[in-house]
Structure 1
């Protein structure tokens, strides 16, 4: 995973979306999709579900899984087919790291920033306003992070449901979700590049490349070695048990220690929500001028530890253990490339195709917008997106 600059954003970036601006940048979208993401084919399924909501003038939130950096490009391709632009809620870190021209392009594409580490009222109000009043759909990725796991979703965050329920209370038109699943597969065989990168990864551990083993076993052994190093760093020795058990145990050990240190207790929360709560406090400490340099340093260490927890959470542990596809193995190597070789974005090994499927609209019902209603809607969304992914059969 790409380490983000965790801090309070210096500003908020609003969208500057018009049909004219969206049309103007179409050449750039195609170049990015083909030259950078190597996406040569995109197949759309269930587009009539989205079209039906648009024809009726509903406020629409599209909620895709987020396994790949190419996901926005796939959705922009759909927008081009419909000749209707989309709004996107995007992490503030994307804007903070972008050049001025990249920031301009993002805003012209309907992107607006959200501070994921705090209660970003401006982003919340902007999203609600889009659902209430704007003629174009809003895209929000409920997973919040890119985990490089294309077959399953990670726990959805409650933010999208809270936004939709709030908009429903105020809107004069129906509000609905359109769940969306995106899957990728290689058109060309990337094995030669994957094997070369696996050599580099093993050499990074001072190993001789294990070219006598099949790639699946090399990936699994490499994962065990990296986990063992982290166990020795945090626990003093490597642990026993299956790989998934060890990953979960180490993540819990680190996270529980930070929660105890910060006085945070929320046993019902998902791991990403617990990480977010701890990270919010750590960021506040790093930016508190009344604290000592030692306290600032300790908070920076806490942020590093929380990033380790997020990395551990992103590894399912069994993804390549039984009959993995070439895409499964490539995803794990993508993760290694970012986590071990510190690449900001994993490379694309060969040309690919994508399938994007839209599900039946989920109407948002008026209610009190309490936690139970928000959680129930989030769980339904997560289930529907996972079902879409399960039903996408690749060639």
Structure 2
């Protein structure tokens, strides 16, 4: 997981979507899709669900899972087939890190920034305006983060549902949410490159590469070692029990400590929402000019701890199954490459294909000021996207 700067955004980046520029940059999209993400084939399922809403000139919110850095590229491919561009809501850190050329391309592709840790009124207004008035769909990834989980989703944030419900209020056209699932599969065998990466990871722990073991066991032993180091750092000792139990226990130890420190009592919320609530307070403390240098340093330490919690959350602890697929092992090694070797974006090893599936549209009724309505729509989208992932038939 790429380390992001957590602070108040320096500015807001608006979209500069123009269909002519979108078509002009098609060669860039093709290069990124093939050269960078190694996607040689993309299969689209359920496209008629999206096409129907476009034909009816509805306001459309597409809500995909977010397991890979390649997800926007797959959606751009769909946009090319439909001959209509999409708007994208994206974390402001992406814009801040981009050089002027990449920034121009992002904005020409309808991307606009959002502060995921605060109440971003400009991003909210932009999203509502797109759904009410613009001819092109809006894409928001409800998971927020990229967790490298190809088969299952993590809890959706309520933000996209709240935006759709807000847009539906007093809208002059129907507003629909379209669930979307994206799965990836290797079409060339990446095992040799995965083994080479496993060697480097073990050497990072000052181990001799354990080439006498099968890759699944090497991944499991490496995960145990990394988790044991973190347990010793925070607890003073390693724990016993299964990996999922140990991950959950360490996560709760760190997060509950911060919630107690900040006086936050939202433990019935999803773990990503709990992290977000703590992060919001830590950012405010870090940027409070009236506090001492030591207090600013303490706030930064808390932000670092929250990043550890986010990393732990991305590890399901179930990758030691008896028959993991190549994709299962590759995604775990992708996590290790980013978290242990500090690679900003995990490398793609071997040619891949993607399957993107669109579910039936969910018509959005105007918001009635009831939070249960927002939660209900979020849960519906979450269930539908997981069902799409479960039903994808890979070759």
8 Å CA contact 1:220, 1:321 repeated in 2: no
Q: Where does the alignment leave 5 or more consecutive residues of structure 2 unmatched?
A: none
8 Å CA contact 1:216, 1:320 repeated in 2: yes
CA deviation digits over 1:35-79, x for unaligned, max 9? 000000000000000000000010000000000000000000000
8 Å CA contact 1:88, 1:140 repeated in 2: yes
2:145 corresponds to 1:150: no
2:58 corresponds to 1:63: no
SS state at 1:179 partner: strand
8 Å CA contact 1:68, 1:148 repeated in 2: yes
2:35 corresponds to 1:35: yes
| Aligned pairs (5 A) from 1:310-325 | 310-325=310-325
8 Å CA contact 2:220, 2:319 repeated in 1: no
Q: Distance in 1 between matches of 2:266 and 2:357?
A: 35
8 Å CA contact 1:86, 1:136 repeated in 2: yes
8 Å CA contact 1:184, 1:354 repeated in 2: yes
SS state at 1:73 partner: helix
Q: Distance in 1 between matches of 2:234 and 2:393?
A: 41
Residue 372 of structure 1 corresponds to: 372
Residue 90 of structure 2 corresponds to: 90
Q: Distance in 2 between matches of 1:159 and 1:166?
A: 10
| Aligned pairs (5 A) from 1:147-226 | 147-226=147-226
Q: CA deviation at 1:149?
A: 0.4
Q: CA deviation at 1:370?
A: 2.0
Q: Distance in 1 between matches of 2:351 and 2:256?
A: 42
Residue 123 of structure 1 corresponds to: 123
Q: Where does the alignment leave 5 or more consecutive residues of structure 1 unmatched?
A: none
8 Å CA contact 1:247, 1:312 repeated in 2: yes
| Aligned pairs (5 A) from 1:300-379 | 300-379=300-379
Q: CA deviation at 1:274?
A: 0.4
Misfit runs of 4+, over 4 Å? none
SS state at 1:44 partner: strand
Q: Distance in 1 between matches of 2:179 and 2:76?
A: 16
CA deviation digits over 1:201-256, x for unaligned, max 9? 00101111111111011101100100000000000000011100000000000000
Q: CA deviation at 1:124?
A: 0.5
Q: Distance in 2 between matches of 1:2 and 1:110?
A: 23
Q: Distance in 1 between matches of 2:370 and 2:279?
A: 24
Residue 81 of structure 2 corresponds to: 81
8 Å CA contact 1:320, 1:328 repeated in 2: no
Residue 275 of structure 1 corresponds to: 275
Q: Distance in 1 between matches of 2:253 and 2:307?
A: 14
Q: Distance in 1 between matches of 2:113 and 2:367?
A: 28
Q: Distance in 2 between matches of 1:2 and 1:17?
A: 27
Q: Distance in 1 between matches of 2:352 and 2:302?
A: 38
Residue 288 of structure 1 corresponds to: 288
SS state at 2:354 partner: strand
Residue 11 of structure 2 corresponds to: 11
SS state at 1:170 partner: coil
Q: Distance in 1 between matches of 2:138 and 2:319?
A: 32
Q: CA deviation at 1:321?
A: 2.1
Q: TM-score, normalised by structure 2?
A: 0.99
Residue 388 of structure 1 corresponds to: 388
Residue 109 of structure 1 corresponds to: 109
Which moves more between the two structures, 334-343 or 278-287? 278-287
Q: Distance in 1 between matches of 2:322 and 2:61?
A: 36
Report how many residues are paired.
395
Q: Distance in 1 between matches of 2:232 and 2:40?
A: 44
